[in-house]
Structure 1
Amino acid sequence: MITPTQPTTQTISQSQGVAPSQASSIASDFDTFLLLMTTQARNQDPLEPMDSTEYASQLAQFSMVEQQVQANELLSELALSLGGIKLEELANWIGMDVQTTAAFHFDGEPVALSAQAAAAADNAVMVIRNSTGTEVERVSVPVTQTEFSWAGTASDGSPLPTGSYSATLESYDSEELLSAQPVAAFNQVVEAQVGEDTVLLTLESGEVVPAGAVTAVRTGT
Protein backbone atom coordinates (compact mmCIF):
# COMPACT_ATOMS: atom_id res chain seq x y z
CA MET A 1 0.00 0.00 0.00
CA ILE A 2 1.21 3.53 -0.84
CA THR A 3 0.01 6.47 1.24
CA PRO A 4 0.52 10.15 0.26
CA THR A 5 2.40 12.11 2.94
CA GLN A 6 3.50 15.69 3.53
CA PRO A 7 7.14 16.59 2.76
CA THR A 8 9.31 16.36 5.87
CA THR A 9 12.82 16.52 4.49
CA GLN A 10 14.92 19.32 3.12
CA THR A 11 17.68 19.27 0.57
CA ILE A 12 21.11 20.28 1.73
CA SER A 13 24.04 21.98 0.12
CA GLN A 14 27.72 21.69 0.89
CA SER A 15 30.36 24.33 0.68
CA GLN A 16 34.06 23.89 0.33
CA GLY A 17 36.81 26.14 1.53
CA VAL A 18 39.25 27.63 -0.91
CA ALA A 19 42.97 27.73 -0.15
CA PRO A 20 44.64 31.18 -0.10
CA SER A 21 46.36 32.21 -3.32
CA GLN A 22 50.10 32.63 -3.64
CA ALA A 23 49.79 35.09 -6.53
CA SER A 24 51.33 37.97 -4.54
CA SER A 25 54.61 36.06 -4.23
CA ILE A 26 54.71 35.39 -7.97
CA ALA A 27 53.91 39.05 -8.71
CA SER A 28 56.77 40.13 -6.45
CA ASP A 29 59.19 37.84 -8.29
CA PHE A 30 57.98 39.18 -11.62
CA ASP A 31 58.52 42.79 -10.48
CA THR A 32 62.05 41.87 -9.39
CA PHE A 33 62.70 40.29 -12.77
CA LEU A 34 61.52 43.42 -14.59
CA LEU A 35 63.72 45.58 -12.35
CA LEU A 36 66.76 43.47 -13.23
CA MET A 37 65.92 43.71 -16.94
CA THR A 38 65.56 47.51 -16.88
CA THR A 39 68.79 47.85 -14.88
CA GLN A 40 70.54 45.63 -17.41
CA ALA A 41 69.18 47.76 -20.26
CA ARG A 42 70.37 51.02 -18.68
CA ASN A 43 73.87 49.69 -18.06
CA GLN A 44 74.50 47.86 -21.31
CA ASP A 45 77.08 49.00 -23.84
CA PRO A 46 75.26 51.38 -26.24
CA LEU A 47 77.66 50.32 -29.01
CA GLU A 48 76.72 46.64 -28.53
CA PRO A 49 73.12 46.59 -27.23
CA MET A 50 71.39 43.34 -26.33
CA ASP A 51 69.31 41.94 -29.14
CA SER A 52 65.53 42.40 -28.67
CA THR A 53 64.94 38.71 -29.28
CA GLU A 54 66.98 37.93 -26.18
CA TYR A 55 64.67 40.12 -24.09
CA ALA A 56 61.67 38.31 -25.51
CA SER A 57 63.28 34.96 -24.76
CA GLN A 58 63.89 35.92 -21.12
CA LEU A 59 60.29 37.11 -20.72
CA ALA A 60 59.01 33.86 -22.22
CA GLN A 61 61.16 31.78 -19.87
CA PHE A 62 59.94 33.66 -16.82
CA SER A 63 56.33 33.28 -17.98
CA MET A 64 56.83 29.51 -18.24
CA VAL A 65 58.27 29.38 -14.71
CA GLU A 66 55.34 31.46 -13.42
CA GLN A 67 52.82 29.09 -14.98
CA GLN A 68 54.63 26.06 -13.57
CA VAL A 69 54.54 27.53 -10.05
CA GLN A 70 50.80 28.13 -10.34
CA ALA A 71 50.25 24.59 -11.65
CA ASN A 72 52.22 23.14 -8.72
CA GLU A 73 50.08 25.11 -6.26
CA LEU A 74 46.87 23.81 -7.84
CA LEU A 75 48.18 20.24 -7.72
CA SER A 76 49.09 20.66 -4.04
CA GLU A 77 45.59 21.94 -3.23
CA LEU A 78 44.06 19.01 -5.13
CA ALA A 79 46.22 16.52 -3.22
CA LEU A 80 45.10 18.02 0.09
CA SER A 81 41.47 17.83 -1.05
CA LEU A 82 41.74 14.16 -2.01
CA GLY A 83 43.67 13.41 1.17
CA GLY A 84 42.72 15.10 4.42
CA ILE A 85 39.51 16.92 3.50
CA LYS A 86 37.79 14.05 1.70
CA LEU A 87 38.91 11.44 4.25
CA GLU A 88 37.17 13.51 6.91
CA GLU A 89 34.15 13.78 4.63
CA LEU A 90 34.01 10.00 4.22
CA ALA A 91 33.58 9.45 7.96
CA ASN A 92 30.69 11.93 8.04
CA TRP A 93 28.73 9.92 5.45
CA ILE A 94 28.78 6.59 7.32
CA GLY A 95 25.47 5.81 9.03
CA MET A 96 23.62 8.73 7.42
CA ASP A 97 20.34 8.27 5.52
CA VAL A 98 20.62 9.73 2.02
CA GLN A 99 17.91 10.25 -0.57
CA THR A 100 18.62 9.07 -4.13
CA THR A 101 16.75 7.45 -7.00
CA ALA A 102 18.75 4.22 -6.54
CA ALA A 103 17.11 0.99 -5.37
CA PHE A 104 16.20 1.15 -1.65
CA HIS A 105 16.34 -1.34 1.22
CA PHE A 106 13.06 -2.54 2.79
CA ASP A 107 13.18 -4.17 6.24
CA GLY A 108 9.51 -4.27 7.21
CA GLU A 109 9.16 -0.58 8.06
CA PRO A 110 7.31 1.93 5.78
CA VAL A 111 9.53 3.60 3.20
CA ALA A 112 9.30 7.32 2.35
CA LEU A 113 9.17 7.88 -1.42
CA SER A 114 9.45 11.14 -3.33
CA ALA A 115 8.51 11.94 -6.95
CA GLN A 116 6.75 14.55 -9.08
CA ALA A 117 4.28 13.59 -11.81
CA ALA A 118 4.55 15.22 -15.24
CA ALA A 119 2.91 18.64 -15.43
CA ALA A 120 0.46 17.54 -18.16
CA ALA A 121 -0.58 14.34 -16.38
CA ASP A 122 -4.15 13.80 -15.24
CA ASN A 123 -3.38 10.52 -13.45
CA ALA A 124 -0.30 8.74 -12.11
CA VAL A 125 0.68 5.22 -11.04
CA MET A 126 3.37 4.18 -8.58
CA VAL A 127 5.04 0.92 -9.64
CA ILE A 128 7.13 -1.10 -7.17
CA ARG A 129 9.60 -3.78 -8.34
CA ASN A 130 11.78 -6.21 -6.43
CA SER A 131 15.52 -6.80 -6.94
CA THR A 132 14.88 -9.02 -9.98
CA GLY A 133 12.75 -6.33 -11.67
CA THR A 134 9.47 -8.17 -11.08
CA GLU A 135 6.51 -5.86 -10.50
CA VAL A 136 5.09 -6.47 -7.00
CA GLU A 137 2.66 -3.54 -6.61
CA ARG A 138 0.96 -1.04 -8.87
CA VAL A 139 -1.30 1.65 -7.40
CA SER A 140 -2.80 4.97 -8.53
CA VAL A 141 -1.58 8.10 -6.71
CA PRO A 142 -2.61 11.78 -6.84
CA VAL A 143 -0.76 13.76 -9.54
CA THR A 144 -0.40 16.72 -7.15
CA GLN A 145 1.27 14.66 -4.41
CA THR A 146 5.07 14.50 -4.21
CA GLU A 147 5.64 12.56 -0.98
CA PHE A 148 4.40 8.99 -0.37
CA SER A 149 4.78 6.23 2.20
CA TRP A 150 5.10 2.65 0.95
CA ALA A 151 3.99 0.06 3.51
CA GLY A 152 5.86 -2.81 1.86
CA THR A 153 2.88 -4.84 0.70
CA ALA A 154 2.08 -6.54 -2.59
CA SER A 155 -0.94 -5.71 -4.76
CA ASP A 156 -3.00 -8.30 -2.88
CA GLY A 157 -2.10 -6.73 0.48
CA SER A 158 0.31 -9.44 1.60
CA PRO A 159 3.56 -8.28 3.27
CA LEU A 160 6.69 -8.41 1.16
CA PRO A 161 9.99 -9.90 2.36
CA THR A 162 13.01 -7.85 3.40
CA GLY A 163 15.15 -6.92 0.45
CA SER A 164 16.02 -4.39 -2.23
CA TYR A 165 13.20 -2.66 -4.15
CA SER A 166 12.83 0.17 -6.64
CA ALA A 167 9.94 2.47 -7.53
CA THR A 168 8.87 4.23 -10.71
CA LEU A 169 6.22 6.93 -11.10
CA GLU A 170 4.32 6.63 -14.38
CA SER A 171 2.51 9.77 -15.55
CA TYR A 172 -0.48 9.50 -17.90
CA ASP A 173 -2.66 11.82 -19.94
CA SER A 174 -5.81 9.69 -20.07
CA GLU A 175 -4.40 6.40 -21.39
CA GLU A 176 -1.21 7.90 -22.91
CA LEU A 177 2.01 7.33 -20.99
CA LEU A 178 3.83 10.66 -20.69
CA SER A 179 6.82 9.62 -18.58
CA ALA A 180 8.18 6.94 -16.27
CA GLN A 181 10.66 8.40 -13.82
CA PRO A 182 12.62 6.75 -10.98
CA VAL A 183 11.37 7.56 -7.49
CA ALA A 184 13.69 8.84 -4.75
CA ALA A 185 13.94 7.05 -1.40
CA PHE A 186 16.18 7.08 1.67
CA ASN A 187 18.97 4.55 2.15
CA GLN A 188 21.54 4.23 4.89
CA VAL A 189 25.19 4.66 3.89
CA VAL A 190 27.28 1.65 4.93
CA GLU A 191 30.54 2.55 3.15
CA ALA A 192 32.14 5.62 1.58
CA GLN A 193 35.25 5.83 -0.55
CA VAL A 194 37.08 8.32 -2.75
CA GLY A 195 36.47 7.62 -6.42
CA GLU A 196 38.32 9.05 -9.39
CA ASP A 197 36.74 12.49 -9.04
CA THR A 198 34.01 12.12 -6.42
CA VAL A 199 32.98 10.37 -3.21
CA LEU A 200 31.22 7.04 -3.83
CA LEU A 201 28.59 5.86 -1.35
CA THR A 202 27.61 2.22 -0.86
CA LEU A 203 24.00 2.02 0.33
CA GLU A 204 22.29 -0.59 2.49
CA SER A 205 20.48 -1.80 -0.62
CA GLY A 206 23.84 -2.66 -2.18
CA GLU A 207 23.71 0.21 -4.69
CA VAL A 208 26.79 2.41 -5.18
CA VAL A 209 26.05 6.06 -6.01
CA PRO A 210 28.17 9.23 -6.30
CA ALA A 211 27.69 11.81 -3.56
CA GLY A 212 26.47 14.24 -6.22
CA ALA A 213 23.39 12.07 -6.77
CA VAL A 214 22.20 12.66 -3.19
CA THR A 215 19.25 15.08 -2.97
CA ALA A 216 18.66 15.04 0.81
CA VAL A 217 20.37 13.82 4.00
CA ARG A 218 19.05 13.01 7.44
CA THR A 219 20.40 11.39 10.59
CA GLY A 220 20.45 7.61 10.30
CA THR A 221 17.81 5.66 12.21
Structure 2
Amino acid sequence: MEITSNAGTYSANSRQQTPTQTDYQTFLNMLTVQIQNQDPLNPMDPSDFAVQLATFSSVEQQTYTNQLLSSMLGQTGLADLGGWVGMEARIYGGAHFDGTPIALTPDPALGADEVNLIVRDSTGAIVDTRSLDPETQSYSWDGLDRDGAALPEGTYSFELESKLEGDTLDSQPVAAYMPVLEARFEGGMTLLVLPGGLYVDSTQVTGLRRPLA
Protein backbone atom coordinates (compact mmCIF):
# COMPACT_ATOMS: atom_id res chain seq x y z
CA MET A 1 0.00 0.00 0.00
CA GLU A 2 1.27 3.47 -0.81
CA ILE A 3 0.30 6.48 1.30
CA THR A 4 0.94 10.04 0.27
CA SER A 5 2.09 12.72 2.71
CA ASN A 6 3.72 16.17 2.74
CA ALA A 7 7.06 14.45 2.25
CA GLY A 8 5.93 12.35 -0.71
CA THR A 9 4.50 8.88 -1.30
CA TYR A 10 5.39 6.40 1.41
CA SER A 11 4.45 3.02 2.79
CA ALA A 12 2.21 2.60 5.81
CA ASN A 13 5.19 2.06 8.13
CA SER A 14 7.13 5.12 6.98
CA ARG A 15 8.10 7.76 9.48
CA GLN A 16 5.99 10.93 9.33
CA GLN A 17 7.18 14.47 10.03
CA THR A 18 5.29 17.45 11.40
CA PRO A 19 6.03 21.13 10.75
CA THR A 20 8.04 23.05 13.34
CA GLN A 21 5.86 25.09 15.68
CA THR A 22 7.16 28.67 15.55
CA ASP A 23 6.09 31.81 17.37
CA TYR A 24 5.52 34.67 14.96
CA GLN A 25 6.04 37.49 17.47
CA THR A 26 9.33 35.99 18.62
CA PHE A 27 10.49 35.83 15.01
CA LEU A 28 9.64 39.51 14.46
CA ASN A 29 11.46 40.48 17.65
CA MET A 30 14.55 38.58 16.53
CA LEU A 31 14.40 40.18 13.08
CA THR A 32 14.12 43.65 14.67
CA VAL A 33 17.19 43.02 16.83
CA GLN A 34 19.01 41.72 13.78
CA ILE A 35 18.27 44.92 11.86
CA GLN A 36 19.25 47.15 14.81
CA ASN A 37 22.58 45.40 15.29
CA GLN A 38 23.71 44.99 11.71
CA ASP A 39 27.00 46.56 10.68
CA PRO A 40 26.16 50.01 9.17
CA LEU A 41 29.24 49.70 6.94
CA ASN A 42 28.13 46.30 5.69
CA PRO A 43 24.32 46.10 5.98
CA MET A 44 22.45 42.90 5.21
CA ASP A 45 21.22 42.57 1.65
CA PRO A 46 17.43 43.30 1.48
CA SER A 47 16.95 40.04 -0.40
CA ASP A 48 18.19 38.15 2.69
CA PHE A 49 15.37 39.70 4.73
CA ALA A 50 12.93 38.74 1.99
CA VAL A 51 14.15 35.13 2.16
CA GLN A 52 13.67 34.99 5.94
CA LEU A 53 10.20 36.54 5.81
CA ALA A 54 9.08 34.32 2.93
CA THR A 55 10.33 31.16 4.62
CA PHE A 56 8.74 31.96 7.96
CA SER A 57 5.45 33.04 6.36
CA SER A 58 5.23 29.70 4.53
CA VAL A 59 5.94 27.67 7.68
CA GLU A 60 3.50 29.70 9.77
CA GLN A 61 0.70 29.32 7.22
CA GLN A 62 1.18 25.56 6.94
CA THR A 63 1.35 25.21 10.74
CA TYR A 64 -1.91 27.10 11.18
CA THR A 65 -3.61 25.03 8.47
CA ASN A 66 -2.46 21.75 10.03
CA GLN A 67 -3.64 22.86 13.48
CA LEU A 68 -7.06 23.75 12.09
CA LEU A 69 -7.42 20.45 10.22
CA SER A 70 -6.22 18.46 13.24
CA SER A 71 -8.81 20.19 15.40
CA MET A 72 -11.54 19.34 12.89
CA LEU A 73 -10.42 15.72 12.56
CA GLY A 74 -10.28 15.34 16.34
CA GLN A 75 -14.05 15.72 16.33
CA THR A 76 -14.60 13.54 13.27
CA GLY A 77 -15.11 9.79 13.23
CA LEU A 78 -14.90 7.29 10.38
CA ALA A 79 -18.64 7.55 9.78
CA ASP A 80 -18.36 11.31 9.34
CA LEU A 81 -15.37 10.88 7.01
CA GLY A 82 -17.68 8.91 4.76
CA GLY A 83 -19.12 12.28 3.85
CA TRP A 84 -15.76 13.13 2.31
CA VAL A 85 -16.25 10.49 -0.39
CA GLY A 86 -16.91 12.28 -3.65
CA MET A 87 -15.26 15.46 -2.40
CA GLU A 88 -11.84 16.72 -3.51
CA ALA A 89 -9.06 16.66 -0.90
CA ARG A 90 -6.08 18.99 -1.00
CA ILE A 91 -2.93 16.92 -0.46
CA TYR A 92 0.83 17.07 -0.84
CA GLY A 93 3.16 14.33 -2.01
CA GLY A 94 1.87 13.54 -5.49
CA ALA A 95 -1.23 13.01 -7.58
CA HIS A 96 -2.35 10.44 -10.13
CA PHE A 97 -2.63 11.69 -13.72
CA ASP A 98 -5.02 9.85 -16.05
CA GLY A 99 -5.27 12.39 -18.84
CA THR A 100 -7.47 14.78 -16.87
CA PRO A 101 -5.81 18.07 -15.83
CA ILE A 102 -4.75 18.23 -12.17
CA ALA A 103 -5.79 21.21 -10.04
CA LEU A 104 -2.75 22.59 -8.21
CA THR A 105 -2.58 25.23 -5.48
CA PRO A 106 0.84 26.90 -5.77
CA ASP A 107 1.88 29.31 -3.02
CA PRO A 108 4.75 31.51 -4.31
CA ALA A 109 7.10 33.06 -1.76
CA LEU A 110 6.35 36.62 -0.74
CA GLY A 111 8.22 39.10 -2.94
CA ALA A 112 9.25 36.58 -5.62
CA ASP A 113 9.71 37.97 -9.14
CA GLU A 114 10.20 34.56 -10.79
CA VAL A 115 8.30 31.34 -10.09
CA ASN A 116 8.85 27.94 -11.69
CA LEU A 117 6.69 24.82 -11.44
CA ILE A 118 8.76 21.62 -11.48
CA VAL A 119 7.05 18.30 -12.23
CA ARG A 120 8.59 14.91 -11.44
CA ASP A 121 7.45 11.42 -12.36
CA SER A 122 7.29 8.46 -9.97
CA THR A 123 11.06 7.86 -10.34
CA GLY A 124 11.88 11.43 -9.33
CA ALA A 125 12.94 12.48 -12.82
CA ILE A 126 11.96 16.01 -13.90
CA VAL A 127 9.54 15.74 -16.82
CA ASP A 128 8.25 19.29 -17.01
CA THR A 129 9.30 22.77 -15.92
CA ARG A 130 7.25 25.86 -16.63
CA SER A 131 7.14 29.48 -15.53
CA LEU A 132 4.16 30.75 -13.52
CA ASP A 133 3.02 34.25 -12.65
CA PRO A 134 4.33 35.15 -9.14
CA GLU A 135 0.74 35.94 -8.13
CA THR A 136 -0.60 32.51 -9.14
CA GLN A 137 -2.67 30.80 -6.42
CA SER A 138 -4.32 28.10 -8.53
CA TYR A 139 -3.13 26.30 -11.64
CA SER A 140 -4.41 23.48 -13.84
CA TRP A 141 -1.57 21.20 -14.94
CA ASP A 142 -2.41 19.72 -18.33
CA GLY A 143 -0.04 16.74 -18.24
CA LEU A 144 2.23 17.88 -21.06
CA ASP A 145 6.02 17.68 -20.94
CA ARG A 146 8.50 20.42 -21.82
CA ASP A 147 8.13 19.62 -25.52
CA GLY A 148 4.33 19.77 -25.42
CA ALA A 149 3.88 15.98 -25.66
CA ALA A 150 1.32 14.22 -23.46
CA LEU A 151 2.85 12.38 -20.51
CA PRO A 152 1.78 8.80 -19.72
CA GLU A 153 -0.69 7.92 -16.99
CA GLY A 154 0.96 7.71 -13.60
CA THR A 155 1.79 9.47 -10.35
CA TYR A 156 3.48 12.87 -10.51
CA SER A 157 4.73 15.24 -7.81
CA PHE A 158 5.02 19.01 -7.97
CA GLU A 159 7.45 21.60 -6.60
CA LEU A 160 7.43 25.39 -6.71
CA GLU A 161 10.68 27.32 -6.92
CA SER A 162 10.44 31.03 -6.04
CA LYS A 163 13.24 33.46 -6.91
CA LEU A 164 14.06 37.13 -6.39
CA GLU A 165 16.57 38.72 -8.74
CA GLY A 166 17.92 35.30 -9.62
CA ASP A 167 18.37 34.10 -6.02
CA THR A 168 16.22 31.25 -4.75
CA LEU A 169 13.86 32.39 -2.00
CA ASP A 170 12.04 29.15 -1.44
CA SER A 171 11.43 25.68 -2.84
CA GLN A 172 8.30 23.94 -1.61
CA PRO A 173 6.02 21.04 -2.63
CA VAL A 174 2.76 22.01 -4.32
CA ALA A 175 -0.56 20.61 -3.15
CA ALA A 176 -3.11 19.13 -5.55
CA TYR A 177 -6.85 18.55 -5.28
CA MET A 178 -7.76 14.90 -5.84
CA PRO A 179 -11.16 13.13 -5.59
CA VAL A 180 -11.76 10.97 -2.52
CA LEU A 181 -12.94 7.51 -3.61
CA GLU A 182 -13.21 5.79 -0.22
CA ALA A 183 -12.50 6.22 3.50
CA ARG A 184 -11.22 3.28 5.53
CA PHE A 185 -9.56 2.51 8.90
CA GLU A 186 -6.31 0.51 8.74
CA GLY A 187 -3.30 0.21 11.00
CA GLY A 188 -4.64 2.72 13.48
CA MET A 189 -5.06 5.37 10.79
CA THR A 190 -8.09 6.66 8.94
CA LEU A 191 -7.07 6.51 5.29
CA LEU A 192 -8.59 8.12 2.23
CA VAL A 193 -8.38 6.18 -1.04
CA LEU A 194 -7.45 8.33 -4.05
CA PRO A 195 -7.23 7.62 -7.80
CA GLY A 196 -4.29 5.53 -8.93
CA GLY A 197 -4.28 3.36 -5.81
CA LEU A 198 -2.89 6.13 -3.59
CA TYR A 199 -3.76 6.33 0.09
CA VAL A 200 -3.48 9.40 2.29
CA ASP A 201 -3.74 9.67 6.06
CA SER A 202 -6.79 11.86 6.71
CA THR A 203 -4.71 14.03 9.07
CA GLN A 204 -2.54 15.04 6.09
CA VAL A 205 -5.46 16.62 4.21
CA THR A 206 -5.01 20.41 4.13
CA GLY A 207 -8.26 21.34 2.41
CA LEU A 208 -11.58 19.95 1.20
CA ARG A 209 -13.94 21.18 -1.49
CA ARG A 210 -16.79 20.09 -3.71
CA PRO A 211 -15.80 19.06 -7.25
CA LEU A 212 -15.75 22.00 -9.62
CA ALA A 213 -18.33 21.90 -12.40
TM-score interval for Structure 1 and Structure 2 normalised by the shorter chain: 0.5 to 0.7
Shift of residue 197 of structure 1?
6.5
Percent identity, please.
Answer: 37
Greater fraction of residues in helix = 1
Shift of residue 212 of structure 1?
2.7
- The answer as to 2:168 corresponding to 1:158 is no
Structure 1's unaligned 5+ residue stretches are 1-10, 17-77
Shift of residue 181 of structure 1?
0.8
Aligned residue for 1:209, secondary structure, equals strand
Matches within 5 A, 1:1-221: 86-194=77-185, 199-219=190-210
Q: Distance in 2 between matches of 1:127 and 1:14?
A: 29
1:34-85 alpha-carbon deviations (Å, 9 max, x no partner): xxxxxxxxxxxxxxxxxxxxxxxxxxxxxxxxxxxxxxxxxxxx9xx8xxx7
Aligned residue for 2:203, secondary structure, equals helix
CA RMSD of aligned residues (A): 2.9
Shift of residue 127 of structure 1?
0.5
Contact 2:78 2:190 survives alignment (8 Å): no
Contact 2:85 2:180 survives alignment (8 Å): yes
Q: Which amino acid aligns with 1:152?
A: G
Contact 2:70 2:203 survives alignment (8 Å): no
Aligned residue for 2:168, secondary structure, equals strand
Q: Which amino acid aligns with 1:163?
A: G
Q: Distance in 1 between matches of 2:148 and 2:125?
A: 16
TM (norm. structure 1) is 0.57
Q: Which amino acid aligns with 1:130?
A: D
Q: Distance in 2 between matches of 1:117 and 1:220?
A: 24
Q: Which amino acid aligns with 1:106?
A: F
Larger Rg: 1
Q: Distance in 2 between matches of 1:14 and 1:166?
A: 24
Q: Structure 2 vs 1, CA of residues 173 and 205 (structure 1 numbering), >3 Å: closer, same or farther? A: farther
Shift of residue 158 of structure 1?
0.4
